[in-house]
Amino acid sequence: MLRVSDLAVARGGVPILSGVSFDVAAGEALVLRGPNGSGKTTLLRTLAGLQPPLAGAVSCAEDSIAYAAHSDGIKANLSVAENLAFWAAVFGTSGTQEALSAFDLTDLATRQAGALSAGQKRRLGLARLVVTGRPIWILDEPTVSLDASAVALFAGVIERHLTAGGAAVIATHIDLGLTARTLDVAPYKARAANLRADFDEGFL
Amino acid sequence: MIALLLRDLKLAMRAGGGFGLGLSFFLIVSVLVPFGVGPENALLARIAPGILWIGALLACLLSLDRIFALDWEDGSLDLLACAPLPLEAVAAIKALGHWITTGLPLTLAAPILGLLLQLPASGYLWLVLSLLIGTPALSVIGTFGAALTVGIKRGGLLLSLLVLPLYVPTLIFGAEVARRGAEGLSLGAPLLLLAGISLGVLAVLPFVSALVLRMNLR
């Protein structure tokens, strides 16, 4: 479903990972591990198409990736339901109600998103994934500020997504209790020697 | 696309959205000018078109840094870039949203403020028309500036420095249309040039904005 071949990624012009290759099939989850600063986020941003790879290729069906970053993209002045309804409209899907109930947010639907707790905001950010209706989920530390029961809730949502034929690539430090392959990114660390010569950040 | 426009308008109307900010600034500038230059009607009538145009331009500038910065801060810009919406459309919609919340109210308020500045009766139609044609260009150029400076902390000043020179042609021809209209002169050439600038930036700049947004999101 998602194929990554010989991928090299850079952050701020410095190559940090190279030679990363893996396949993720439908119904499969891949957990990325590695110490802080090892390049998990950069790898995920590249997978999501937010930045171009230095080398190698990411191949998947067009418009099949949903990305959840560290920040949830929540508008504090909109209600929980309005936030989700906006993303549903952008992605041309319906099913806001299912997403709300999947993350136990139904009771909070009319609450201003700015008045939510950090964990509730996170749940709202993750509920957006359900609303996108896309098969490949790219998740960057999805469990930050979630309590134990919310983590279990989230793991359940992922499992259902996988059974429905979806796939997920998850960077996380905790054990979600999923039957998933684990990929440690540390061995792919790029050598600092191959700095890009045509880098122009100094000018900008 | 409609969803994005509606969301932006909704956000602008709600608390902290800054909807009335540009309008109040325009009002204050126009009210202060007679205090500064004195109550001489003939003088006020002569400078009114220019003052109103400069006021509208600065009021427009005031809300530019909100166009992308807020979405960038809370991460929705990244998510929008992954959405099925092309970034070109996002840039165009953002500019349209900015115009509806800033340029359009300024255009509608200008005749009332023209009254305060003793604008001659013949000038009202042309003042409104020039603003109606010119302010979309201000929004589109401003969106380009906002895209350039997205991600820079306190980028507002840099944004003004970048955008103000680009506003000069619109200001020259916009104020010229309003002035000639007020004095009852023929105004074919400046009106056409003003419309030409607006149409030109409308056609080109959303693409450039999307390009620099992509570079800034990396």
Q: What is the ipTM of this complex?
A: 0.84
Listed in sequence order, the DSSP H helices in A91-195 are 96-102, 118-132, 148-163
Q: What is the pTM of this model?
A: 0.88
Once rounded to an integer, what is the mean pLDDT over residues B7-33?
86
Q: Is residue A203 part of a domain?
A: no
Q: How confident is the model at residue A178 (pLDDT cuts 50, 70, 90)?
A: confident
Handedness of CA B50, B51, B53, B58 (dihedral sign): positive
How far, in Å, CA of A130 to CA of A87, rounded? Answer: 10
Measured between CA atoms, the residue of chain A closest to residue B80 is: A90
| Distant-in-sequence, close-in-space partners of B191: CB < 8 Å, separation ≥ 6 | B129, B130, B133, B173, B177
Helix or strand (DSSP H, E) at A146 = none
Residue A44 lies in a domain: yes
In a domain, A204, yes or no: no
Domain residue ranges of chain B, discontinuous segments joined by +: 2-217
In this predicted structure, which of A188-197, B23-32, B36-45, B181-190 has the lowest mean pLDDT?
A188-197
| Backbone dihedral angles phi then psi of residue B57, each to the nearest 5 degrees | -65, -45
Query: Using CA atoms in the order A59, A65, A71, A74, what is the torsion angle rounded to 10 degrees?
Result: 160
**Structural domain count of chain A:** 1
Structural domain of A79: 2-198
* pLDDT tens-digit map of A94-128: 888 888 988 889 899 899 998 999 999 999 999 99
| A108 CB-contact burial (10 Å; exposed 0-12 / middle 13-18 / buried 19+) | buried
Q: Is A127 part of any domain?
A: yes
Which of B14, B16, B74 is the closest to A74 by Cβ? B74
* A13 interfaces chain B, CB cutoff of 8 Å: no
**CATH code of the domain in which A64 resides:** 3.40.50.300
- State the count of interchain CB pairs (< 8 A) between A and B: 69
The per-residue pLDDT for B152 is: 85
